[in-house]
Structure 1
Amino acid sequence: MDDQGLPGKGAPLEAKYLSGGTQNEIYKLDRDGFTCVIRIPPTGAPADRDSGIIREWRIIQALDGTDVPHTAAVAACEDTSVLGRSFYLMGYVDGWSPMDQHGVWPEPYNSDLSTRPGLAYQLAEGIALLSKVDWKAQGLHDLGRPDGFHDRQVDRWTRFFDRIKARELDGIDVATKWLQAHRPLDYVPGLMHGDYQFANVMFEHGAPAKLAALVDWEMGTVGDPKLDLGWMLMNWPEDMTVEGAGQGGYADLRGMPDRAKMVQHYSEVSGRQVDDLDYYLILAKWKLAIILEQGYQRAGDDPKLQSFGPVVVSAMREAAELAESTDYKG
């Protein structure tokens, strides 16, 4: 921090644990009134997390000066002799995360359902703005391989499933063949988050809702931004008037706009056509099922990973059913 010329030189540094897991740990750092956040892999994280951390840093750094709500880029360190792993410092966001609410929105969003549409529209707006970033001008020309993106999605994850396969999944053949036959012939490459949902954003305190930052860039790349849209909406209710719609997940969606309105808002802000949304919804469900299947196969006695089992089956079946019912012809 001193070498980077950050404030507070000579003052004691205080660290407060915020969150973490097997891939990353996050601490709030305070030094003489200067506050930031460190994101660093734990000691036992895979070796490639060091390069992954720097990849995340590049994205955050590239977002500076754009309209995308994000944490400020403070500094990065690739020298593992400093703390044992590569790490970066980002600005502290004085806001709240839906993942910290234990299924209950903070006020006024909990008791006043009329305030909730703002949360949803802000969520959609985040990736719409992200898709508009000039990634080449921001120095991310080598971040991903946009050419052949959809060819690799289907082929890569099919090979991945074949490696981990330990049981048959109903619908996987139907969904896979449909995706192979309906790959977009043309698309506009853009910066994408890769795991976009309420869990990976933060909001400013109070109302009306205002997105404070997109966070957790582990899956960030240059590809087809509409996959972020499909990922965000794959379990979003088509009709919010149906009894029970929007309930049952980690975020209570009651009072929020239905899927069509979310898609319309994304399209208006991003400028992208969304006529082929079914493809992205099917791809998202199919891909999620395969990713979670790996966790389920490694579950052992872990109840969280064990719970992935029925989720995998449901997601793959839904992907196949949507593929069989869609009128989208590519």
Structure 2
Amino acid sequence: MIDWLDQAGVGAGPITQVVTLTGGTQNVLVKFTRDGHDYVLRRPPTNKRRNSDEAMRREARVLAALTGSTVPHPQLRASEEDESRFGDACFVMDAIDGFTATEEVPAHIVASREAQRRMGFDAVDALLGIQGIDPHTVGLPVRDHWIDSQVDRWASLYASHATHVGWSTDQLEGVDHVAEWLRSNTPETSRTGLVHGDFHFGNILFSRENGGLTAVIDWELASVGDPLLDLGHFLASYPVSNDPRTTGTAEPLTELPSRGELISRYIAHTGRNKTDVTWFRILACFRLAIIIEGSHARAIAGLVSAKTGERLHKAASYLMEQAVSLVLAEQTAGTVAQPITASTLPKGSHT
């Protein structure tokens, strides 16, 4: 691999300070130093999924396309698409200093209302930057009728988990009910742009000094679709202080902006409406629950640790419960497309 790094211009001389990074559940991350600069090698897990190598190739292409954009991201330094060379497709990127709030939060950030509010609003601003990327520059396929295919696509993935011995489709409650509501209430129009695909606090690096966003990481699920899906994901996983089932941050962050404030900030810059936001919140819960439940199925089959599988199953169950709750609220109240602004929301509310 040293010859490959040399050819790609990734430093020179010996490789030192090699450390395997923790915190991820899917891929291998190895931090190393070369020629006084810190890098990270990213490659698939030991027990690869069917699309693991393609996910690496896709992520490398997206990082390359983000070069020069306003979206904070790790700079791609080298990529190897042919898995025959090292056994996997892989890439090297710059190491970015910062903390992920799911793993640690510095004490002075926990004590600072200003820093916490900056974390929430910076995340939304990053979403605004992502949705502004021209999808044609990313090199990802653009699917016709993307929004119409979403529910069937993820419902099909859920059913496919049954190929893992010991797992059955009754593991998550409400899947069929949520799928039926989503199909019946699909927005008539949608927009096309870059979608991160897994946007939450665990995939954001924040400054240890002031809580500002330093990088959006983990782009392996990136695709071209409606950018509202990313907002839906962020809202679905957003920590709520009075709900013990949410495990969004390593330390309680009671001064984060409310979900309502985040929605207002996003809509004020994009012109989307509340009805569409709600639909995509429910789709995000549905989609993410199904993806996460795949790791539970793999754990039952002995391909992932039982501890990891159980933890992710609880997360998937919570997401599906959240989707069901939102659907029931919509069925009770009815839906009317309307703009939403900060002035229409209760101060400090978590919605």
Q: Determine if contact 1:120/1:257 at 8 Å carries over to the other structure.
A: yes
Comparing 243-252 with 176-185, which one deviates more in the overlay?
Answer: 243-252
Q: Which residue of 1 aligns with 2:217?
A: 215
- 1-structure distance, mates of 2:24, 2:237: 25
How far is the alpha carbon of 1:121 from its aligned partner?
0.6
Cα pair distance change 1:236/1:53, threshold 3 Å: closer
Q: Which residue of 1 aligns with 2:72?
A: 69
Q: Which residue of 2 aligns with 1:318?
A: 322
1:152 is the counterpart of 2:149: yes
- 1-structure distance, mates of 2:264, 2:307: 38
Q: Which residue of 2 aligns with 1:178?
A: 181
* Unpaired stretches in structure 1, ≥5 consecutive residues: none
**TM-score after normalising by structure 2:** 0.81
Q: Which residue of 2 aligns with 1:244?
A: 242
**TM-score after normalising by structure 1:** 0.86
1:193 to 193, 196, 207: 196
* 2:225 partner amino acid: G
How far is the alpha carbon of 1:51 from its aligned partner?
2.2
Deviation sequence 1:48-93 (CA, Å, 0-9, x none): 3222211100000000011000011111123445433221111121
Comparing 313-322 with 145-154, which one deviates more in the overlay?
Answer: 313-322
Cα pair distance change 1:45/1:170, threshold 3 Å: closer
1:32 is the counterpart of 2:39: no
1:53 to 50, 56, 61: 56
Q: Which residue of 1 aligns with 2:130?
A: 130
RMSD, aligned α-carbons = 2.6
Q: Determine if contact 1:107/1:206 at 8 Å carries over to the other structure.
A: no
Q: Determine if contact 1:247/1:253 at 8 Å carries over to the other structure.
A: no
Q: Which residue of 2 aligns with 1:206?
A: 209
Q: Determine if contact 1:128/1:267 at 8 Å carries over to the other structure.
A: no
Report which of the two has the higher share of helix. 2
Percent of pairs with identical residues: 29
Q: Determine if contact 1:236/1:246 at 8 Å carries over to the other structure.
A: no
1:5 is the counterpart of 2:9: yes
Q: Which residue of 2 aligns with 1:228?
A: 230
Comparing 88-97 with 299-308, which one deviates more in the overlay?
Answer: 299-308
| Count of aligned residue pairs for this structure pair | 316
- 1-structure distance, mates of 2:253, 2:259: 11
* Unpaired stretches in structure 2, ≥5 consecutive residues: 163-167, 338-351
